[in-house]
Amino acid sequence: MTEQSGIVQDHWTREGVLARIDAVLLEMGHDPEAVTPEILSGVEHLHTGGLTTTQDQAEKLALGPDARVLDIGCGIGGPARYLAHTYGCRVDGVDLTPELLETGQVLTRRCGLEDKVTLQLGDALDLSFPDQSFDVVWCQNVTMNIADKAGFLGQVHRVLKPGGKFASTEYSTGPGGDIIYPVTWAYDPSTNFLDSEHEMRAQFADAGFRILDWTNYTGLAIERLAQARATPSKLANHLVFGEDTPERAGNGRKNMMEKRIIYWMITAERN
Ligand SMILES: C[S@@+](CC[C@H](N)C(=O)[O-])C[C@H]1O[C@@H](n2cnc3c(N)ncnc32)[C@H](O)[C@@H]1O
């Protein structure tokens, strides 16, 4: 593991994630051993807009039971389980952070999805899968932690079959000025590696991707953050990200409203 990967791993590690989720599940009257993606939906989609963002992104792909999907930076595996549960596809997930990955493995078993979803430790910059293994590579709210975008996109290209799709939600910098910290992915510049939209488009083209859809998702993301704030749930991302989540999410919303950052939903095809 590189020094940078270690810094990112530390950023996302809050020991006791599973115990906190279980305590809230019990409080809500659920059996933690018998959960479903529906029950977990409020806590397991660790990106802006949560489940609805996952649903919108998935609808842009023609996923079916024969598809092989790789979720890079899978967190606790919510999107991977959603895709397998909803579309019947087989999903591999890799993530850098053991605390999240191990939580995800337990939740996958409890959801009865281990035959379709496999989560393992791994670095986006050094994927262990053979060339041309996947029909779809999926990635949500991960690249803001990755400085080497060419290395990352090179790995995505390598593991995708020709004509395969890369589906990504990610932030760019915006015209509104410097980012206000802390945000969910960073307390300071040591884990924040946003580029401009212009740079991102060039990186995709240089890596051998054709853009099929490039949607500015910022307006919807702002709305959904406002909704989440108005109707707080006990089973939510703070159990994973920590007690300062409202402050970090609030800054994310302010950064978007002031156009300091832009949230994109991207579908690209591997040449
Ligand atoms: C905001 S969470 C998103 C998790 C998941 N994609 C989701 O939307 O539910 C960011 C995740 O990216 C992972 N991550 C960051 N850099 C990574 C890298 N180089 N390789 C693999 N995972 C990485 C972190 O460990 C963390 O779990």
Closest atom of ligand 1 relative to the 139 alpha carbon:
6
Tell me which residue of 124, 268, 126, 270 sits closest to 201, measured CA to CA.
268
**Strand spans (E) along 186-260:** 209-216
Task: Give the burial string for 190-207 (b: 16+ CB within 10 Å, else e).
Answer: ebbbbbeeeebbebbeeb
Report the nearest-CA residue for atom 27 of ligand 1: 75
What average pLDDT does range 91-117 have in this prediction?
98
Average pLDDT (78-83) is 98
Residue type, 186: A
φ/ψ of residue 180, rounded to 5: -95, 125
pLDDT in tens, 176-221: 999 999 999 999 999 999 999 999 999 999 999 999 999 999 999 9
- pLDDT averaged over every residue in the chain: 97
Q: Is 69 close to ligand 1, i.e. is its CB under 6 Å away?
A: no
* Nearest ligand 1 atom, CA 152: 19
Residue 189, amino acid = P
Euclidean distance between CA atoms 183 and 190, whole angstroms: 12
Q: What is the CATH number of domain 3-270?
A: 3.40.50.150
| Closest residue CA from atom 26 of ligand 1 | 75
Whether the Cβ atoms of residue 191 and residue 11 lie closer than 8 Å to each other: yes
Is any ligand 1 atom within 6 A of the Cβ of residue 119? no
Query: Given the CA of residue 46, which atom of ligand 1 is nearest to it?
Result: 9
95 C-beta closer than 6 A to ligand 1: yes
For residue 1, pLDDT beyond 90 = no
Nearest-CA neighbor of 177 among 190, 194, 191, 201? 194
Check residue 111 and give its pLDDT. Answer: 98
**pLDDT at position 188:** 97
Distance 255 CA to ligand 1 centre (A): 20
Q: Where are the domains of the chain?
A: 3-270
Q: What is the pLDDT of residues 138-165, one digit of tens each?
A: 999 999 999 999 999 999 999 999 999 9
pLDDT reading at 27 higher than 90: yes
> Of all atoms in ligand 1, which is nearest to the CA of residue 184?
1
Q: Is the peptide bond before 182 cis (omega within 30 degrees of 0)?
A: yes
Q: What share of the chain is helix, strand, coil (3-state, %, to 5)?
A: 45, 20, 35
Residue 110 has pLDDT above 80, yes or no: yes
Mutate to test the pocket of ligand 1, among 142, 192, 237, 263 (most ligand atoms within 8 A of CB): 142
